[in-house]
Each structure stands twice: as structure tokens, then as C-alpha cells.
Structure 1
């Protein structure tokens, strides 16, 4: 890893390290977006060992500063949710762009990172698809088991929508993760839908 890449990933981690929301995994607690960004990075490298530089960079800043735009500041319902998600994507891309400029990356790399962060071209762009697979896998591995009990049968529809964004390779990896009996049943129902 070259020095500029190392310094940039460190800057992304420092930024995400200021997340006031905490995440606990296997007895260790740290800022939520720092933990999730590092796990996303690991999944991207597992899915694409020869990942492009923009994909590697995007994997650590995909949700940078997510806590800075509250879901509560948007109306309830699907329209409010989608508006919030678009605002978040623009925010992540903007914060990432600032750090990438400060660390000396060229416009073509910055533009490509922003494309991946904003998930433009999913299903047509291999890097964006890898990112989507990795995002879903991070959720399934680290958040799903705590998430599904609160959502009951709605979880099947939530999973179905997430799984639709993944490709066959992502589905294959999803089936290798350990789940509770209920978690497995919901996942199988979503895949069959």
C-alpha cells in the first residue's frame, strides 16, 4: 500500500472515528461508522482481491459522516426515506471528495470514487456491484441478527429488496455466513421470493 493511499484511508478512519454512535461486536465497542467502514473494506478486498484504486478508496468512505444527516430530519414514509438516502449519498461523496483533494488525488480518481459512493450504475458497473454486494454482506454479517427480531415478517421483504441489489456472487457469499435458525429461515424465504 502506497503512502498516499495509507494516509487517505487513515483520514477516512479519523473522520468516521468521530461518530458518536457506538457499535459493539464480540465485546469490543467503537464508533459505528468506523467499524462498519473497516468491515466494508475487508469485504470489498475479499470479493475483489485486485480491486481498483477508486473501489479501495470508496470502500472506506462509502458512508462517511452518515450520522451527520439524521433520518428524523426527513418525513416518515418511503418518499422521505429515499430523499434522505439521496442526501446522504451526496454528503458522503462531498466529504470523501474533500479528503481526496487534500491528500492529492486527481479528478479522475475522485470522480470515480464519487460514482461508486453514489452507487451510480449498479448492475452495469462492476465496481458499484462489488460495493453493493459488500454493503449487503456487512449488514448480514454484523447487523442482521440484531435487526430482524424487531421487524418480524417485514424482514423478508426488507431482505428481498437488499438481495435484489446483489448479484449471484453476492448471494453465494451471503449463504456462507452463520445465522440463527430464524435468521436462516428469513433469508431463505427472501431468496425464494
Structure 2
């Protein structure tokens, strides 16, 4: 049975992320952290926008590919260091994915488009970049907000929620409000957004 370039690329992205030495326990099972994130991104994209293009689908899966290879600690632990780390990560994720897509037989134009999306270029202006950003924010709010709440004080959390909200589209906002938040977190979100 022949496999499509998309199936091959997906399998290879999963294989890379499965090597993550960091693990997360979810539903009583241990998962490689970035593989779990990648699956959550793809699933959320398909639930939110089932007609998403192949480029967005791949970008959603590869959003954090091999993220553990560039440690936050290898940059200065200040705002400038954080922004530089984030910028370098985007380029690294795009390059790592481009190698896989070349191997899968995709054309240069398609690979450039996926890189464009992973690097989140023209946010708010490019529809697909915005779609990907909405999915990133939805996945954060659904799965990663709660651990953040336990690490940071209320004011910092309100700031994080507001920044997340401001990156999203109106449709993204509507989708976010359907998430099954804990009563405490819902209260925090409403407070942050002045609802």
C-alpha cells in the first residue's frame, strides 16, 4: 500500500517528537511531551477547522518539533533572552520540518509556505497564520493554563491570559469560551478579560 507525502511527513514528525526525553502524564499514561503537544495541536485544528489546508495541518503538528533540543536555560533568563529563544525556536522548527518535507517529496513552494506558518509570519494579516495562532492559544487554554495557574501569581496570570486573548481572532474567542474550564480558572479568565 502506498503512503501519501502527508502520511509520511506526519509519521516522521511524530517519530521526531516521540524522542522527547521530557514526559507528561495524561489520562494515566506517560507521553513524550512534544508528541502529546503535537497530537493536541492537530486534533484541535481538525475539530476547529476540519477543512484546514495540508500546509496548516503539517504546521500544527510540527509547531514544537524537537523543542527540547534548544533549552531555555541556554539563553539569558530575562525578557530579551526569552524573545531571542522564541525567535530561534521558530526558525529551528521550520528548518527541521523543511528537511522532513523535502524527504517526503513536497515541492519547494509548499515547504516555504509551511515554514512561513511555523514562523507565524503576518499574524492578523494572513488567514492561515491566524488560524494556527488560534489553535496554539486554544491548546494552551485547554491543556496548559491550569499548570501555569499553579506556578504564577494571579496578576501575572491575568496578564498571560490577556496576551493570549489578544492574539486570537473573534472566532477563536468564541471557541475558547466553549472550553470546559474549572470554575476557578473561568473566574480568572473573566477577571482578566473584564467580562
What's the TM-score once normalised by structure 1's chain length? Answer: 0.96
Aligned-pair CA distance for 1:38 = 0.7
Distance 1:108 1:37 in 2: 23
The residue aligned with 2:184 is 182
The residue aligned with 1:141 is 142
Report the aligned-residue RMSD.
Answer: 1.2
Any idea what the Cα deviations from partners look like across 1:73-104, whole Å, max 9, x if unmatched? 11112111100000000100010000000111
The residue aligned with 1:3 is 4
Distance 2:42 2:116 in 1: 17
Aligned-pair CA distance for 1:142 = 1.2
Distance 1:125 1:65 in 2: 26
Aligned-pair CA distance for 1:28 = 1.6
The residue aligned with 2:175 is 173
Distance 1:191 1:117 in 2: 28
3-state SS of paired residue (1:178): coil
Asked if the contact 1:47/1:130 (under 8 Å) is kept, the reply is: no
3-state SS of paired residue (1:156): helix
Q: How does 1:107-122 map to 2 (within 5 A)?
A: 107-122=108-123
- What number of residue pairs does the alignment pair up? 192
Is 2:54 the counterpart of 1:53?
A: yes
Distance 1:189 1:123 in 2: 25
The residue aligned with 1:101 is 102
Any idea what the Cα deviations from partners look like across 1:151-171, whole Å, max 9, x if unmatched? 121100011111110111111
Distance 1:169 1:121 in 2: 18
What's the TM-score once normalised by structure 2's chain length? Answer: 0.95
Aligned-pair CA distance for 1:6 = 0.8
Distance 1:64 1:85 in 2: 13
Q: Which runs of 5+ in 2 are unaligned?
A: none
The residue aligned with 2:159 is 157
Any idea what the Cα deviations from partners look like across 1:11-60, whole Å, max 9, x if unmatched? 00000000111011121211010001011011111222111111111111
Q: Which runs of 5+ in 1 are unaligned?
A: none
The residue aligned with 1:91 is 92
Distance 1:27 1:146 in 2: 17
Distance 1:157 1:72 in 2: 23
Distance 1:21 1:190 in 2: 31
